[in-house]
Structure 1
Amino acid sequence: MFSQSFLTLLVQFWLFAVAMAQPISATVHDNAWKYGSGGGVVGFIILILDIIVFIEVLNSNRPVLHKVLWCLVVFLFPIGGMLIYWLFSNRKAHMSGGYEPIA
């Protein structure tokens, strides 16, 4: 399904993200939006964008397995998965044209 070079690139991106991650300190800060507890404002923006990706994937006309795989990629790699989805998912071809009638 995925080529060896793509998987290697994905692993290298994940290792880079882990290496650049900043640990959350155990000290208490006055402003929870700026420090600790999950990334502050930037983390909240990434969460909102990931939720938009989940909604778009679940509303698409993809097969169920592809929906699960895209959601899993975005769940495991929030920033990288979102970027990979927006760059490589062929979104226009899988957009549903509205509601489908129930048979």
Structure 2
Amino acid sequence: MYQISFLLALQVAFASMVAAAPLQAQSNSWQYGTGGGIIGFIVLILDIIVILEVIQSTRPVSHKLLWSLLVFLFPIGGIIIYWLFSNRDSHKPSGGYEPISS
């Protein structure tokens, strides 16, 4: 759990450095793509959502680490690959309580 929270904190730190990239005096801020601004913030939020979903899943720890690293190293591509190929439905947590059989 400590490793995942460290990765999340590291990603937030990197995102804040990228968002603070200097802009030219009269340039269009959208030219930086995901480097900052609204689009960068949306990508950051989606990354956090994916990492939290991975942490809460029933996957083995090694798979959680690999998915988190993929999303951390390749934010946009990692999100797309995760949502397309991760088989999210079969790894959802059970929802807390298990029924008591009588």
TM-score by shorter chain over 0.5 = yes
TMscore range, shorter length: 0.5 to 0.7
Could you state the TM-score of these two structures normalised by the residue count of structure 2? 0.63
* Percent identity of equivalent pairs: 58
* Structure 2 CA distance for partners of 1:28 and 1:64, relative to 1, 3 Å: farther
Q: Which residue of 2 aligns with 1:83?
A: 80
- Unaligned segments of structure 2, at least 5 residues: 1-20
Instruction: State the 4+ residue runs in structure 1 displaced beyond 2 angstroms.
Output: 24-29
| Equivalent residue, structure 2, for 1:98 | 95
Larger RCO (CA under 8 A, 6+ residues apart)? 2
Return 5+ residue gaps in structure 1 as ranges. Answer: 1-23
1:44 alignment counterpart: 41
Count of matched residue pairs: 76
Structure-to-structure mapping, 1:1-103, within 5 angstroms: 27-28=24-25, 34=29, 38-99=35-96
Q: Which protein has the bigger helix share?
A: 2
